[in-house]
């Protein structure tokens, strides 16, 4: 395994471990304090820091699209709180007009809807910044899991921070994979399409995305090398 690949992997998964641990600590503190809004903002800042760190590893820290995701992550906690407030106002305004649902039923959907909205925006921005469908789909799957957590808990002050911490851990893991692939791709040792490390491969196509590999970048088979070195 090339040294630059090992270094990128070590850095990326160190960032993931730190982000997951810090998010879990903040979620644990949610049982001991009442500042729910402050905690959600702090979790959003952890996500922003993770995106910045992965961008540095991938060599994309100064990219405008990456900076946009960082700005979104830094304010995501505040947006979630505002969306919850807007949902509550909408319930008070439109529920009497329908008469189809009970107040408790509609109010219980407010938190999952806010998580789904924040996750959808995050997935779209991550797709724009990374050009990686795996990262975007990973974000949507994490959002689906996180939005289901409040439906099975009556104590949102404690369950929602844990859902957010799990979301950060899953999304950061996908970002770590992307950052390593992007680092390898930029070093010239990876596939130009998906970033898979091509060191030592003799195949004419990338094993992950089937993108053709130029003959100049393929490894020479051992038998062919021995044949070339055999004296005539």
Are residue 200 and residue 212 in the same domain, yes or no? yes
Name the strand (E) or helix (H) holding 216. none
- Structural domain boundaries, residue 42: 3-187
What confidence score (pLDDT) does residue 112 get?
81
Same domain, 124 and 174: yes
Note the pLDDT of residue 202: 64
Low-confidence residues in the chain, pLDDT < 70:
1-4, 30-36, 88, 90-108, 156-157, 187-202, 204, 213-232
179 and 139 belong to one structural domain: yes
**pLDDT the model gives residue 122:** 92
Question: What's the pLDDT score for residue 168?
Answer: 93
Instruction: Identify whether residues 57 and 166 lie together within a single domain.
Output: yes
- Are 100 and 201 part of one and the same domain? no
- Same domain, yes or no, for 196 and 220? yes
What is the pLDDT at residue 124? Answer: 94
Q: Check whether residue 61 and residue 157 sit in a common domain.
A: yes
| One domain for residues 77 and 57 | yes
CA–CA distance, 56 with 105 (Å, rounded to integer): 44
Number of domains present in the structure of the chain: 2
Looking at residue 175, its pLDDT comes to 94
Distance, in Å, from the CA atom of 131 to the CA atom of 125, rounded to the nearest integer, reads 10
Regarding whether 90 and 171 lie in a shared domain, the answer is: yes
CB 143 within 8 A of CB 113: no
pLDDT at 73: 86
Instruction: Pull the structure tokens for residue 231.
Output: 């004296």
The pTM assigned to this predicted structure is 0.75
Q: Are residues 138 and 206 in the same domain?
A: no
Instruction: Kindly state whether residues 104 and 41 are assigned to the same domain.
Output: yes
Output the pLDDT for position 114.
81
Whether residue 112 sits in one domain with residue 79: yes
């Amino acid at each position: 395994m090339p040294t630059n690949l090992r270094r990128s992997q070590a850095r990326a998964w160190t960032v993931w471990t730190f982000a997951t641990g810090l998010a879990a600590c903040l979620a644990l503190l949610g049982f001991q304090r009442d500042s729910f809004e402050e905690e959600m903002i702090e979790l959003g800042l952890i996500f922003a820091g993770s995106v910045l760190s992965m961008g540095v590893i991938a060599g994309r820290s100064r990219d405008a699209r990456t900076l946009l995701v960082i700005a979104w992550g830094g304010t995501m906690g505040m947006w979630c709180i505002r969306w919850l407030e807007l949902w509550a106002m909408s319930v008070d305004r439109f529920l009497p007009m329908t008469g189809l649902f009970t107040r408790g039923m509609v109010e219980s959907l407010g938190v999952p809807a806010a998580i789904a909205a924040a996750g959808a925006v995050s997935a779209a921005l991550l797709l724009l910044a990374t050009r990686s469908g795996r990262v975007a789909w990973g974000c949507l799957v994490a959002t689906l899991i996180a939005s289901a957590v409040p439906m099975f808990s009556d104590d949102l002050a404690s369950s929602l921070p844990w859902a957010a911490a799990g979301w950060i851990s899953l999304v950061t893991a996908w970002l770590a994979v992307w950052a390593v692939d992007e680092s390898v791709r930029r070093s010239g040792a990876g596939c130009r399409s998906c970033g898979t490390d091509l060191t030592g491969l003799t195949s004419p196509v990338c094993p992950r995305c089937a993108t053709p590999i130029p003959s100049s970048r393929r490894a020479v088979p051992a038998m062919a090398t021995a044949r070339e070195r055999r004296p005539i």
